[in-house]
Structure 1
């Protein structure tokens, strides 16, 4: 059974996904594909990034649970991260949205049975000494929950510029 804290994190992540999907539900495809500026991601790039990033971070949680003390994390130049936001013209908006919707079940499946003891397991970030050893709860809270919430804010900012 999930602890109260992880249950709140799961609910928050799923709520952010719901907000993202509701916000993008009736948008024209040209709006979803439009980059507000040359340096900003389109909504489709954001959705594609979410569809890649959340499974990545869930996998990092699973690795640390299976091998406490193992290194976790990646840098901004990670090839899979970059591929998710490159050449998005070829992506189907509906398929990407469906993938994002399916993340709600994946989040529940991976995080739902973690208890406080498991969430407190600490491991080092592979690239950044500044993080030091962090508990699994940090990965969940910062790299999944806050991350997806931040991208919801990014989508709203994109829309405000159009």
Structure 2
């Protein structure tokens, strides 16, 4: 069982990410992603985190609004994902930080408001299959923020 409530876990991941963002030297590239081969600099990491927070918040809201277990999500190789990252990468680091903070606060607020029955609501992801809202936020929010914080710590 995971420790803490979903909002506590999300906030801890966000704190880890913000600390890594504040201390990142911004030099170099990430290691190649084992699945896609992608390598990112500081701006591309921040661009992805900005767009992914917005994307997954909308996907969680979609799952919550669905009457049944509806399909949701995307894969790493989705052209939409790549285009969203490249579009965001045209912004400055400060603009990206501002977007990240705004989108993370919205996600944190939602996590605090979700009732137990909402956390158990399910959608169908193309890779992972049936996932609850809690699993979606954990996989694509909490764990993802920790993963990208780790990348920033190595730059």
CA deviation digits over 1:115-144, x for unaligned, max 9? 22111112211x22xx23111111011111
- C-alpha displacement of 1:89: 6.5
CA contact (8 A) 2:120 2:134 kept: yes
CA contact (8 A) 2:69 2:123 kept: yes
Which residue number in structure 2 is paired with residue 121 of structure 1? 121
| 1:1-150 to 2 correspondences below 5 Å | 5-24=5-24, 27=25, 31=26, 34-35=28-29, 40-67=39-66, 68-86=68-86, 90-125=90-125, 127-128=126-127, 131-150=128-147
Which protein is richer in helix relative to its size? 1
TM-score (norm 1): 0.77
Two-structure CA RMSD over aligned residues (Å): 2.4
- 1:37 deviation in Å? 7.2
Computing the radius of gyration from Cα coordinates, the structure with the larger value is 1
Q: Are the counterparts in 2 of residues 10 and 112 from structure 1 also a CA contact under 8 Å? A: no
Runs (4+) of structure 1 exceeding 4 A deviation are 36-39
How far does the alpha carbon of each residue in 1:32-69 deviate from its partner, in whole angstroms, 9 at most, with x for none? 6x536785200110000000001111111111111141
What is the count of residue pairs matched by the alignment?
146
Q: Which runs of 5+ in 1 are unaligned?
A: none
Range with bigger deviation, 115-124 or 100-109: 100-109
Contact 2:13/2:146 (8 A) holds in 1:
yes
TM-score by length of 2: 0.80
- Contact 1:45 / 1:84 at 8 angstroms: preserved in 2? no
